[in-house]
Amino acid sequence: MANIRELHAAAWLGEIDTIYKVIEQDPRILEEVDAVPFVNTPLHTAASAGHLEFSIEIMRLKPSFGWKLNEQGFSPIHLALQNNQHNLVRRLVEINKDLVRVKGREGVTPLHFLCQSGDDNKNIKLLIDLLEACPDSIEDVNVRNETALHIALINQNLSAFRKLVHWLVKNVRKGADSLEVSILNWKNSEGNTILHIAIINDNEQAFDLLIGSIKVDINARNLENQTALDLAEARPLPTMNRKLQDRFALFINRFRRGSIVLVMDRIKAEVSEEQRNANLVIATLMLTVIYQTVLSPPGGLTQGSDNDPSGKNLLNSTSSHNSTAAGKSVMPQKTFYLVTVLNAYVFLFAIGIIISMLPKSFSAFAVFSILYFMTSYFVSEAVIWP
């Protein structure tokens, strides 16, 4: 017991050397602390005091301390957050990103804690850092089945709420679409979605942020069988009521401002490497075949004679009614038009496949090359037009 007290004293002062002195006296002391289900470990003490190097050292020696809850139901990272030790939190998460998901009292994770804290820049920046380090943490809920978005709205932390919604909308990881739909329409223990809560709290800014998204289900019902429109009418909130009824127009406006690049990035994330390679090969073959019809169209091209470079005297007399110059397709105009339209559809479809399958790091360079290639194709079509 004396050794444990000495270890905590060292943690409070940040004296790393003392750790090893205590371990020399009792090599199993860290295991003894870890064996207690709920205990204030030296990492708890160091995290509360903000001793970064000591915390990292003890975490390295005993990684399981990062998950331990003390008698009050807090982990070391929770205590660090309570004491505004943001850099220490970041370093612990660098060691183990899953610590973002450790649940303390009432199921509150570090992400939840920041959502219910103040909306100053340091808290918001750390919130985004934790979310980027462990994106799966957006799915964690507390004992009231509330996500981080619920908690941010309930605590009037609009800055955190905006950042979370923005991250969901811009997310391009695999499964991003289904995740966005799930989180935006998640119901807490009372059956309320974040749209319900925005109306209950008369938070028009949060409401406007949600109502423009097609992913938000405005017809979702809570346990009292109320939709968002029911709540807006009952309060009453005429502005929200009107916006709910005009939601289609709002969505069209939002869609026009939407990013096609985002949609393409999400498509890329859903495709495996094998599927990507197969699609690129197929699209390349399609482009090769289509471009070949410009170089060698069905029936060939009209030819000019050596004595008549202008091509007015045609070698192929059977096609003289189709063209008056060399290098033109011998096909009748209607047939050529039909072939050109069909080829253009296939050509653009293949181009779309290639652009959507390209890795993001190569897209900027490749898109310009593809645009030049498209220009070449359509100019060539115009040149041989009968």
Please, which residues bridge with residue 46 across strands?
A: none
Q: Which two tokens stand for residue 267?
A: 């498509």
Letter for the amino acid at 370?
I
- Sorted by sequence, the CB contacts under 8 Å of residue 336 that are 6+ apart come out as 297, 329, 385, 386
Give which of 48, 55, 38 is closest to 78, Cα–Cα: 48
Q: C-alpha dihedral over 270, 274, 278, 281, to 10 degrees?
A: 110
Q: Is the pTM of this model over 0.75?
A: no
* Cα 378 from Cα 294, distance rounded (Å): 9
> Tens-digit pLDDT profile for the chain (386 aa)?
668 899 999 999 999 999 999 999 999 999 999 999 999 999 999 999 999 999 999 999 999 999 999 999 999 999 999 999 999 999 999 999 999 999 999 999 999 999 998 778 899 999 999 999 999 999 999 999 999 999 999 999 999 999 999 999 888 778 888 899 999 999 999 999 999 999 999 999 999 899 878 889 888 999 999 999 899 888 888 888 888 877 655 555 555 444 555 566 666 666 677 887 888 888 888 888 888 887 788 877 777 654 444 444 443 434 444 445 677 878 888 888 888 888 888 888 888 787 777 766 565 666 777 777 888 888 888 888 87
Contact between 288 and 302 under an 8 Å Cβ cutoff? The reply is no
Please, which residues bridge with residue 314 across strands?
A: 304
* Cα 321 from Cα 331, distance rounded (Å): 10
What is the 3-state secondary structure of 255-288?
Answer: HHCCCHHHHHHHHHHHCCHHHHHHHHHHHHHHHH
